[in-house]
Amino acid sequence: MRQVKHLLSEKGGQIYAIEPEEPVLSAIQAMADHHVGALLVMRGDELAGIVSERDYARKVILLGRSSAETPVWQIMSAPVQTVDPGQTVEDCMRLCTERRIRHLPVVEQGRVVGVVSIGDLVKAVIEAQAEELAQYQRYIAG
């Protein structure tokens, strides 16, 4: 089974992050600009949390808070569930399902090296299943 490091090598290790003191409005704008559903919340090189569109909807909009005045640290999810590059796609899918999360920061030797989303994981599973089906078809035809 494919590992997280294989996904990162294909998609790249791009990390989109924001500082905890920044306003939520800046986080939402960054998510829109980068076409992502979550940002890592970083203090320098330290992973402090993660903020998602879901956090925004539930902790700002529904509570009538101001996006421009609420700092990210007040709505971020922490502590963050992380994975390492050697974990399998199956392990990550299980984590996302059990914990009802959509984004997993990838940490290697204490340093964030990327993020995998539920979309990345589903894509990898579909590709693996398609390859397996193609192998079966070749075996039957051959």
The per-residue pLDDT for 132 is 83
Question: If 0-12 CB within 10 Å is exposed, 13-18 middle and 19+ buried, where does residue 23 land?
Answer: middle
Is residue 142 scored above 80 in pLDDT? no
For CA atoms 59, 61, 64, 66, the dihedral sign is positive
Q: What is the mean pLDDT of residues 65-75?
A: 95
Q: Residue 19 CB: number of other CB atoms within 10 A?
A: 15
Task: Please list the helix, strand and coil fractions of the chain in percent, rounded to the nearest 5, in that order.
Answer: 45, 25, 30
Mean pLDDT for 97-107 is 96
Residue ranges covered by each domain of the chain: 4-141
Position 58 pLDDT exceeds 80: yes
Q: Say whether pLDDT at 131 is over 90.
A: no
Check pLDDT > 90 for residue 33: yes
pLDDT at 139: 81
Query: Residue 51: what are its φ and ψ, rounded to 5°?
Result: -125, 135
pLDDT at 136 exceeding the cut of 80? no
Antiparallel, parallel or unpaired: β 38-43 and 46-52 = antiparallel
CATH topology of domain 4-141: CBS-domain (3.10.580)
pLDDT at res. 83 = 98
